[in-house]
Chains A and B, each alone.
Chain A
Amino acid sequence: MPLRAKVASSVSRTAAALSRAAGRGDGSVIGGWIGLKIDPDLLAHLSAGRAIALVSGTNGKTTTTRLTTAAVGVLGRVATNSFGANMPTGHTSALAKAGSTPYAVLEVDEHYLAQVLEATEPHVVALLNLSRDQLDRAKEVAMMAQLWRAALVRHPDVRVVANADDPLVVWAATPPADPAQGHFPPHVTWFSAGQRWQDDSWVCPECGSAIQRSGEQWWCSGCPLRRPQPQWTVEDDGVLDPTGAWHKVQLQLPGRVNLGNAATALAVAAEFGVRPVDAVSRLGAVSSVAGRYAQVDRDGRNIRLLLAKNPASWLEAFDMADLAPTLLSINARDPDGLDTSWLFDVDFAPLRGRQVLITGDRAYDLAVRLDVNGVPFQHVRSFDEAIRAVPPGRLEVIANYTAFQDIRAELDRVN
């Protein structure tokens, strides 16, 4: 590593440690920010010599990164941005902190995938899904698929592990080959992780015709785009690998969506030569991911935290939650997106029959939504009030990003 990069890396680690010691956060962004100021190529320097996997998509990337890190760990030490700091500053900080490792698994914000592909020259990139998320700021969904596609054309040597169930992902992962121009088709391994949310992919990104669906199959009515045959699939409580072997997966993380994330993790790890049979028990050791799914006992209540940031992930959260009192908390601060319109894209009917409490900066938006949905609820002004309002036993908490962080802070930054 060049001297400038060594200095930058060292300063970056120190700044992160200071930030943590001062209680100003987990230090995963500030360290990288300072490091990149000293050496703008620091991320590239820190990436050199490592076999890297990138994980990107609208939902599930933090959890899938965590599971993939566990699976690749079969081979040796793995650097990762385990705090969900998923932009280049976070990657820089994570790699600097980890020191020299043979492997790295990095979660990447979908907007930064092209930039991080360029800097880290990964061995494999996993593309999970694309759906509406903070549309007042984020690029619209079809535009994001276009950006991914353009980035992959520039990196034909990267192996791609992609979700066969999401038409936008499939289109992004299969850019047109033009060998005369030096554009070769990427090597793609397909997995099936299911797609509960389909409202962003009714129109073909290639030709604009309607996407048709039947069971798990989908196809465009106007062009050849259709669901590829996946090599990795979820079956019952396990994962079927490309050889046809089935591996039972006993996760501590709830919901079918996490079985899909496990299948993805095994597929990515396999690109490094990890055999699923060796990795599968490591997946079961993951109990929570940056506070997500964490369980905390307080005043006789067993509180479980579920993060839901956009319509697709709310549907998954309802699927994961037990039939128990449920607190919903909504903010609309910058990291959440300022627009709460998406509340009407979520059907809250699965909550009928549970005791529902609401809180957060934008509880009134949620109140109007639940009213229209015919879901009775009680508004509480604090987390403590919520705890007092429910009987002893399980309390499910489903919150969007900053609301989740607020509650996590109340529970002493539970991980």
Chain B
Amino acid sequence: MSTESLRIVWIYPDLLSTYGDRGNMLILARRAQLRGMPVEVLEVRSDQRLPATADIYLIGGGEDGPQALGAQRLMADGGLHRAVAQGSVVFGVCAGYQLLGTSFFAKGTRCAGLELLDIASDRGPTRAVGELAGEVDARLGIPYLTGFENHGGRTHLGPGVSPLARVTAGVGNDGATEGAWRGKLLGTYSHGPALARNPALADLLLRWATGIHQLPALDDTWAERLRSERRAAVAAAVRA
């Protein structure tokens, strides 16, 4: 950690917060606090400077206009690039995932991304809306991914990143893979409060940020019931 407390920054909630994106910030803070870590949470609006010294940066989903504006402001600000160079963790969701790449489509035009992940996004033939599930890259050591997706993009992965998961339900990047990661940067189409259904993913981000490999276990009874229920619902929908 950069300081005595874990610093979590939620980037531009005024632009990129459409589907309960606040949840990821709340969940990370809660899981750190339950383990006795002091936590500092910062919501940085798009008219403010982005501090470069936080441990975890969160970028949420948004509509086309705010997505393009958010990418422009992040490039002009430069804080996120400096933070990544210093080893900070970045978690991007949906529009926030796309804008970490080299380019994305918004309002019918190709927009330049932050080039932090080797991915490029364009428009798919249909909008992907519904449950999303996948088997996560074994190197990350976490169980299956479950979430809800709602996006019109398709994302193409370059050699500089690995897919987060192999899709078992839904579309994700392209119907075969979902999300991407490199180093301590990770993005997903599992939108909104993605960490609510994936507490192990939340803990992965906390391990990356703190360097603590054995985090004390928490009572995840309700999250586990939710995961089982969603997995059963997806399986039932496939059978139907």
B66: which of A135, A203, A339, A364 is its contact (CB, 8 Å)?
A203
Of residues 198 to 224 in A, which have CB atoms within 8 Å of B's CB atoms?
199, 202-203, 208, 210, 221
Of residues 357 to 407 in A, which have CB atoms within 8 Å of B's CB atoms?
364-365, 367-369, 371-374
Residues of B within 8 A of A142 (CB): 63, 65
Q: Once the chains are docked, how many angstroms separate the CA of A132 from the CA of B14?
A: 14
Cross-chain contact A339 with B26 (CB below 8 angstroms) = no
Minimal Cβ-Cβ distance residue in B for A140: B63
Q: Once the chains are docked, how many angstroms separate the CA of A396 from the CA of B45?
A: 37
Q: Does B192 contact A (CB under 8 A)?
A: yes
Cross-chain contact A136 with B226 (CB below 8 angstroms) = no
By CB atoms of chain B within 10 A, which of A137, A199, A344, A364 has the most? A344
Task: Tell me whether A364 and B23 are in contact in the complex, defined as CB-CB below 8 angstroms, given that A210-B46, A210-B47, A341-B191 are known contacts.
Answer: no
Minimal Cβ-Cβ distance residue in A for B68: A208
Q: Does A338 contact B (CB under 8 A)?
A: yes
Q: Once the chains are docked, how many angstroms separate the CA of A72 from the CA of B64?
A: 42
Residues of B within 8 A of A343 (CB): 20, 23, 193
Cross-chain contact A210 with B148 (CB below 8 angstroms) = no
Cross-chain contact B148 with A339 (CB below 8 angstroms) = yes
Cross-chain contact B192 with A338 (CB below 8 angstroms) = no
Minimal Cβ-Cβ distance residue in B for A369: B196
Q: Does B129 contact A (CB under 8 A)?
A: yes
Q: Does A342 contact B (CB under 8 A)?
A: yes
Cross-chain contact B26 with A342 (CB below 8 angstroms) = no
Cross-chain contact B225 with A341 (CB below 8 angstroms) = no
Cross-chain contact B15 with A371 (CB below 8 angstroms) = no
Cross-chain contact A365 with B226 (CB below 8 angstroms) = yes
Cross-chain contact A132 with B18 (CB below 8 angstroms) = yes
Cross-chain contact B226 with A210 (CB below 8 angstroms) = no
B20: which of A137, A140, A341, A364 is its contact (CB, 8 Å)?
A341
Sorting the interface of chain A by its residue count into under 10, 10 to 19, 20 to 34 or 35 or more gives: 20 to 34
Task: Tell me whether A339 and B222 are in contact in the complex, defined as CB-CB below 8 angstroms, given that A142-B65, A368-B196, A372-B30 are known contacts.
Answer: no
Residues of B within 8 A of A368 (CB): 196-197, 222-223, 226
Cross-chain contact B65 with A203 (CB below 8 angstroms) = yes
The count of residues in chain B whose C-beta lies closer than 8 Å to any C-beta of chain A is 34
By CB atoms of chain A within 10 A, which of B191, B222, B226, B229 has the most? B222
Cross-chain contact B191 with A208 (CB below 8 angstroms) = no
Counted as pairs of residues, one from A and one from B, with CB atoms less than 8 Å apart, the total is 87
Contact with A along B53-77 (1 / 0, CB 8 A): 0000000000101100100000000
Residues of A within 8 A of B223 (CB): 368, 371
Minimal Cβ-Cβ distance residue in A for B33: A374
Cross-chain contact A341 with B19 (CB below 8 angstroms) = yes
Residues of A within 8 A of B69 (CB): 203, 208
Cross-chain contact A345 with B226 (CB below 8 angstroms) = no
Cross-chain contact A367 with B15 (CB below 8 angstroms) = no
Cross-chain contact B20 with A342 (CB below 8 angstroms) = yes
Q: Does B79 contact A (CB under 8 A)?
A: no
Of residues 88 to 140 in B, which have CB atoms within 8 Å of A's CB atoms?
129-130
Residues of B within 8 A of A371 (CB): 222-223
Q: Does B81 contact A (CB under 8 A)?
A: no
Task: Tell me whether A338 and B130 are in contact in the complex, defined as CB-CB below 8 angstroms, given that A208-B65, A210-B47, A372-B196 are known contacts.
Answer: yes
> In angstroms, how far is the closest chain B Cβ from the Cβ of A361?
9
Residues of B within 8 A of A340 (CB): 148
Cross-chain contact A339 with B14 (CB below 8 angstroms) = no
> In angstroms, how far is the closest chain B Cβ from the Cβ of A333?
12
Chain B interface (Cβ < 8 Å from any Cβ of A): 13-15, 17-23, 26-27, 30, 45-47, 63, 65-66, 69, 129-130, 148, 150, 191-193, 196-197, 222-223, 225-226, 229
Chain A interface (Cβ < 8 Å from any Cβ of B): 132, 135-137, 140, 142, 199, 202-203, 208, 210, 221, 338-345, 364-365, 367-369, 371-374
11 further interface pairs, Cβ-Cβ under 8 Å (given A221-B47, A364-B225, A364-B229): A137-B129, A140-B63, A202-B45, A210-B14, A339-B148, A339-B150, A339-B192, A340-B148, A343-B20, A364-B222, A373-B26
27 contacts between A and B (CB under 8 A): A136-B148, A199-B17, A202-B45, A203-B14, A203-B65, A210-B46, A338-B148, A339-B148, A339-B150, A341-B19, A341-B20, A341-B191, A341-B192, A342-B19, A343-B20, A344-B20, A344-B26, A345-B20, A345-B22, A364-B229, A365-B196, A367-B225, A368-B197, A368-B223, A368-B226, A372-B30, A372-B196
